[in-house]
Structure 1
Amino acid sequence: MNAENTQVIQQCTREALAGELTFPEILGKLAHIGIERYHADYSRQEITYYLPDGDSVVIATPHPSHPTATEFSAPAVEAAVQQSQRNEHTYLDFILKTMSAGCVGYFVQITGRRVIYFGRTGESHIEHFPPAPISV
């Protein structure tokens, strides 16, 4: 990953953790630099961003320590997603709520326009992006 792209990704991560960027804004910035997908790993507190050729960069996403529920609750994950869509909480709040719902991480498929949230034993919940185009 080149230094310019890494800088954009680091800025997006910092601003997301600070509650300064919305999910659509982040998607727009990442799509603009060619990011195809990313994987947020709550246990490792990091996100791996990928270009279409497989080139990647890992960025730390420190958040408060919080236990992940044993049971995965797709309805609770969906409720947290809906709160995010309405700008009712921060990204850190979202992390804590989805961890409480048994989520250990998620994959954002920018080109596939979906997010796949998953639990400890492989349970998953898929959210599709709204139909509006991603813009910068």
Structure 2
Amino acid sequence: MSTLYDIIREAAAGSAEGRLHFGQVIGLMVVAGVDAYTVDYRSARTTYYPREAAPLDLPLATPPMPIPEAFDVAALRSAIAGSQRGQVMYPQFKRLSMAAGCVGYTVWIAGRHVTYYGRRGETHVEQFPD
């Protein structure tokens, strides 16, 4: 039987390899009882917050590229839309969102939205599609 940490690790690996799209990852997070997770491109880490267990911090492979100072919400929204349509998988999403000036984001599973962050504290909130 898989532990919640095994489920989280499988979701992270499947996403990183481009095998699982965002909706599938969220489905696995729900099964694992994860309330939220935070991606930090600058530290190359993702921290998962299960409701009934200690947080799990995993390394995140990030593209070797600088993150611009400007937070380009239009470019970020384009990357998000591609991801929601299943046309942009996570390896490409990381490149596109970083190029848009995104330094990280928090996925609020129960709240059904993602908060994206820019270098100067800017935020963009994107609701989950229905």
TM bracket, shorter-chain basis? over 0.9
Q: Look up the match of 1:91.
A: 90
Q: What amino acid is aligned across from residue 117 of structure 1 in structure 2?
A: Y
Q: Is the 8 A contact 2:70 2:100 kept in 1?
A: yes
Q: Look up the match of 2:120.
A: 121
| Deviation per residue, 1:75-95 (Å, 9 max, x gap) | 111010001112222211111
SS in 2 for 1:36: strand
Superposed displacement of residue 55, structure 1 = 2.3
The CA RMSD measured in Å over matched residues stands at: 1.4
Q: Is the 8 A contact 2:84 2:129 kept in 1?
A: no
Length, aligned pairs only: 129
| Deviation per residue, 1:22-72 (Å, 9 max, x gap) | 111110111111100000000111110002357201011112211101100
Q: Look up the match of 1:41.
A: 40
For residues 51 and 16 of structure 2, what CA distance do their matches in structure 1 show? 25
For residues 57 and 77 of structure 1, what CA distance do their matches in structure 2 show? 27
Greater Cα shift, 82-91 or 93-102:
82-91
For residues 130 and 89 of structure 1, what CA distance do their matches in structure 2 show? 15
User: Normalising by the residue count of structure 1, what TM-score does the alignment of the two structures yield?
Assistant: 0.89
Superposed displacement of residue 128, structure 1 = 0.3
Q: Look up the match of 1:30.
A: 29
SS in 1 for 2:78: helix
Q: Give unpaired runs (5+ residues) of structure 2.
A: none
User: Normalising by the residue count of structure 2, what TM-score does the alignment of the two structures yield?
Assistant: 0.93
- Gap change, CA 1:54 and 1:125, over 3 Å in 2: farther
Greater Cα shift, 64-73 or 105-114:
64-73
Q: What amino acid is aligned across from residue 4 of structure 1 in structure 2?
A: T
SS in 2 for 1:8: helix
- Runs of 4+ in structure 1 over 4 Å off: none
Identity of aligned residues (%): 33
For residues 89 and 24 of structure 2, what CA distance do their matches in structure 1 show? 14
